[in-house]
Amino acid sequence: MITHPDPIVTSRLGHDDSHTLERYLATGGYEGLRKALGMTPEAVHEEVNQASLLGRGGAGFPAGRKWSMLREAPTTYLVVNGDESEPATFKDHLLIERDPHQIVEGTIICAYAIGARQAFIFCRGEFALGLERLTQAVNEAYEHGALGTDIFGSGFELDLVVHPGAGAYICGEETALLESLEGKRGFPRIKPPYFPAAVGLYGEPTVVNNVETMSNLPWIVLNGGAAFAALGEGTSTGTRLFALSGHVKRPGWYELEMSKTTFRDLIYDPSLGGGIRHGRELKAFIPGGVSAPWFFPEHLDMGLDQDAVGKAGSMLGSGSIVVMDESACAVRAAYRITRFFWRESCGQCTPCREGSGWVEKVLRRIEDGYGREEDLDLLLDACDNIAPGLGWPPKQTTICVLGPSIPSSIVSAIHRFRDEFLVHVKDGGCPFEPDEVRRAE
Amino acid sequence: MADAKGLSPENLAKAEAVVALYPHRRSGLIPLCHIAQAQDGYLTPAAIEDIARLCGVSAAEVRGTASFYDMLHTEPVGRYVVAVCTNIACMLAGAYSVLSHAEDRLGVRLGQTTEDGLFTLEEAECLAGCDQAVCVQVNHRFFGPVDEEGFDRLVAELAAGEFDEVVPPHGVLCRVERSVGLKAHRDDERATAPAAPAGSGDGGAA
């Protein structure tokens, strides 16, 4: 049963001018900030704790708890992660282009709660329009009195800088993002320290939160944490913005109540994904970005719930669902995902740098018809060296989680579609047609 | 490059203003690379020298940092960098057919530039436009869904200048400039801040 609560982060997107200050103010914009500034920072923090807002970037760490971990220091920073690059994820891109003021307002609220006086929004470099809209929104927020000194007469002061990335998936990893923001290569930092809350930007305590996480804050402050927590179930509270792509009739973004909606609803309901194109059968789907192990038809009735998906051996991750129908080649899909990790590996750690290239080559030769039967064991063995045990969550041999994400698609594909790999080997090539080009309507 | 003179006086002023937004100068490195690319389409050796001076690092460090990032070019590229996404969602929508068609249509292979200097063809990783697969970016402006016919139309219209409003020449990223400097009272801290922060990424494997 699909519930239809009022949207929280996409409430303005029905308007063509949702990115403008005029529309924002006409639809309750900056009221959450005004209310927050009338509360103590601790009280704002408490509302977010009550909301049980889980970070919307991928790891799903509770936002309020992250804020509690800040080391006491004269200078603290807030950095908003808008470097959305997990393949098939396009929800932050949407929020950045279509409702930049909501992100700015959420950022100011967060900065107030944690006592930061300078904040940065790290926006993925490839989002040219997004950068323009965010920069415009920040300019307007200063003029409107929502940024700078004495914000709305409260005495609170904050500077907000929009920082452009330059094209590197790894910068979505929070310590790599901070390195990049410091003007360096996006190399994830060795842990410990595990959290930027202890040692972050310029070595100072720093909160790094995702764009969608920030976008929820104005609503949470206005309506209260309890109202947010009343949506969803268990630890998966509120709504979440899901990005649906692949072989569905209606790819797109859908803001849904957590837990209450199932994968079947999302993929098949006429108001959501609308079912598989050409009436074909579902082969597999990826439940949370390409770092996640694949799901299959037997998982369709699971709710969009962080814990449930985790227990079933995958993750809701970045909230992006990729649907593959029976015409999709599992070898080709695993190859393309692996190629991505190989291209984006920062190169610091051997298992990731060497392992990704190795398995990419083996997958490529299988797809091209030059594979050997023993290549399947070779793939699994190489994956086992990247993430020993091949379990979920993966064991770590590297500084960050990019490396351990490599086996997900390969192991999923081999375990489920072993015969398909063997046909590639036996027949000397791929038995599937080239992927059908989707026609512009 | 005999004709490369580094950043223009106007862009130098812009760059100074950007550097002033950060507690440490080096943080301006990537934004300044974007300013340099907006001016010349790629990072010229002279512009790299300017960026190094403004950020308080060596030219080698600028080059070494820039080479890590896909969007930063140290060699000239075409007026339009056309990037076809082939990652999973676009692949399932036929991206490899569109890409191979693009190579035929432009008469170049991946990474090459057409003889007239108009188009450079690239294969992109996921561009976060998956509901519009196959997704194509031209100088980081989005187009999609793009099929083979759509690709032909797109390059014809680009060549005819019909997208000049939407798609500026390569390197121009954000056409909205920040209108204010920093306002919160932290000028004193900034003046005493060291050029390079201590204890941030110093323990990395790098």
Contact A178, A190 (CB under 8 A): no
In this structure, is the dihedral angle defined by the CA atoms of residues B101, B122, B126 and A355, taken in order, positive or negative? Answer: positive
Residues of A in contact with B65 (CB under 8 A): 183-185
pLDDT band of B203, cuts 50, 70, 90: very low
Peptide bond between residue A205 and the one before it cis (omega within 30 degrees of 0) = no
Last residue of a domain, which of B139, B159, B179?
A: B159
| Cβ within 8 Å, pair B69-A167 | yes
What is the distance, to the nearest Å, from the Cα of residue A320 to the centroid of all Cα atoms in its chain? 8
Contact yes or no for A435 and B182 at CB 8 A: no
Which pLDDT score is estimated for B204?
A: 46
pLDDT over 70, % of chain A: 100
B61 and B132 fall within a common domain: no
At B196, the pLDDT band (50, 70, 90 cuts) reads low
Secondary structure of residue A80 in the 3-state scheme: strand
Average pLDDT over residues B136-154: 97
Do B110 and B126 fall into the same domain?
yes
Identify the residue with better confidence: A126 or B206: A126
- B160, A119 Cβ separation under 8 angstroms: no
CATH level 3 topology of A21-229: Rossmann fold (3.40.50)
Please give the pLDDT value at position B189. Answer: 54
Task: Say if residue B139 is in the same domain as residue B85.
Answer: yes
Query: How much is the pLDDT for A440?
Result: 77
**Residue B169 located in a structural domain:** no
Of B93, B146, B185, the CB nearest to A149: B185
CATH code of A235-325, in short, is 3.10.20.600
Instruction: Give the CATH number of the domain where residue B118 resides.
Output: 3.40.30.10
Structure tokens at A376: 């399947």
Residue A346 pLDDT: 98
Confidence at B191, pLDDT banded by 50, 70, 90: very low
For the segment B118-147, the average pLDDT, to the nearest whole number, is 97
Over residues A348-373, mean pLDDT: 98
Q: What does the pLDDT read at residue B17?
A: 97
Residues of B within 8 A of A203 (CB-CB) are 197-200
Is residue A133 classed as helix, strand or coil in its secondary structure?
helix
Over chain A, what is the mean pLDDT?
A: 97
For residue A180, give the amino acid letter.
S
Task: Pick the last residue of a domain from B141, B159, B177.
Answer: B159
Closest Cα of chain B to A297: distance in Å? Answer: 18
- Tell me whether strands A236-237 and A232-233 are parallel, antiparallel or unpaired: antiparallel
Q: Are A292 and A220 in contact (CB under 8 A)?
A: no
Tens-place pLDDT, residues A100-116: 999 999 999 999 999 99
Quick one: B123 and B85 in the same domain? Answer: yes
d(CA A43, CA A208): 20
- Domain ranges in chain A are 21-229, 235-325, 330-427
Residue A3: which pLDDT band, with cuts at 50, 70 and 90? Answer: confident
Report the alpha-carbon distance of residue A299 to residue A291 in Å, rounded: 18
Q: How many percent of chain A have pLDDT more than 90?
A: 97
Strand partners, A323: A246, A285
- Mean pLDDT for B89-94 is 98
CATH number, residue B19: 1.10.10.1590
The letter for the amino acid at B93 is: A
The parent domain of residue B14 ranges over 1-76
CB-CB under 8 Å, B126 with A88: yes
- Residues with Cβ within 8 Å of B164's Cβ and at least 6 positions away in sequence, in order, are none
Average pLDDT, chain B: 92
Q: Which residues pair with A118 in a beta bridge?
A: A77, A159
pLDDT for the residue numbered B193: 56
Query: Residue B200's pLDDT is what?
Result: 61
Instruction: Note the pLDDT tens digit of each residue in A163-222.
Output: 999 999 999 999 999 999 999 999 999 999 999 999 999 999 999 999 999 999 999 999
**Residue A102 near residue A12 (C-beta atoms within 8 A):** yes
Q: Which of residues 72-131 of B touch A (CB under 8 A)?
A: 72, 86-89, 91-98, 124-131
Tell whether B51 and B116 lie within a shared domain. no
Summarised one tens digit per residue, pLDDT across range B24-41 is 999 999 999 999 999 999
Residues B69 and B120 reside in one and the same domain: no
How does pLDDT run across A240-298, given as a tens digit for each residue?
999 999 999 999 999 999 999 999 999 999 999 999 999 999 999 999 999 999 999 99
pLDDT at res. B206? 42
Question: Is the pLDDT assigned to residue B2 strictly greater than 50?
Answer: no
Residue A420: pLDDT over 70: yes
Q: With beta carbons under 8 A apart, name residues in chain A contacting B87.
A: 87-88, 290, 336-337, 340
In this prediction, residue A59 carries a pLDDT of 87
Domain end: B76, B100, B115, which one?
B76
Q: Using an 8 Å Cβ cutoff, are A178 and A166 in contact?
A: no
Cβ atoms of A342 and A431 within 8 Å: the answer is no
Structure tokens at A89: 């994820």
Cβ <8 Å between B71 and A333: no
Rounded distance between C-alpha atoms, residue B200 and residue A288, angstroms = 31
Instruction: Give the integer Cα–Cα distance in Å for B76 and B84.
Output: 19
Q: How many CB pairs under 8 A join A and B?
A: 261
What is the DSSP code string of A259-296? TTSBHHHHHH-TTTT-SBGGG--EEEEESSSTTSPPB-
CA-only gyration radius of chain B, Å = 19
The yes-or-no verdict on residue B198 having pLDDT over 70 is no
Q: Which amino acid is at A356?
A: S
Number of domains in chain B: 2
Query: Would you state the pLDDT for residue B40?
Result: 97
State pLDDT tens for residues A130-173.
999 999 999 999 999 999 999 999 999 999 999 999 999 999 99
Banded pLDDT at B190 (limits 50, 70, 90): low
Residues 6+ apart with CB under 8 A from B192: none
How is residue A439 annotated by DSSP?
Answer: P
Supply the pLDDT for residue A2. Answer: 81
- Give me B199's structure tokens: 């204890």
Closest-approach residue (CA) in chain A for B170: A128
Question: Largest Cα–Cα distance in chain A?
Answer: 74
**Contact partners, residue B53, CB within 8 Å, separation at least 6:** none
pLDDT in tens, A228-239: 999 999 999 999
* Residue B171, domain member (yes or no): no
CATH class of A330-427: mainly alpha
Residues 6+ apart with CB under 8 A from A388: A395, A397
Q: How confident is the model at residue A12 (pLDDT cuts 50, 70, 90)?
A: very high
ipTM score of complex: 0.96
Residue B200 lies in a domain: no
Q: Are residues B65 and B87 in the same domain?
A: no
Residues B37 and B100 occupy one common structural domain: no
Q: Could you say which of A190, A247, A251 has the minimum Cβ distance to residue B130?
A: A251
* Mean per-residue pLDDT, B111-128: 97
pTM value is 0.96
- Which residues 130-149 in chain B show a CB within 8 A of chain A? 130-131, 133-134, 137, 139-142, 145-148
Confidence tier at B205 by pLDDT (50, 70, 90)? very low
How far lies A256's CA from each of A7, A9, A213, A237, A294, in Å?
Answer: 8, 10, 15, 11, 21
Banded pLDDT at B192 (limits 50, 70, 90)? low
What percentage of chain B exceeds 90 in pLDDT? 86
Based on the domain organization, do B85 and B152 belong to the same domain?
Answer: yes
User: CB-CB: which of B31, B174, B199 is closest to A203?
Assistant: B199
Regarding whether B85 and B15 lie in a shared domain, the answer is no
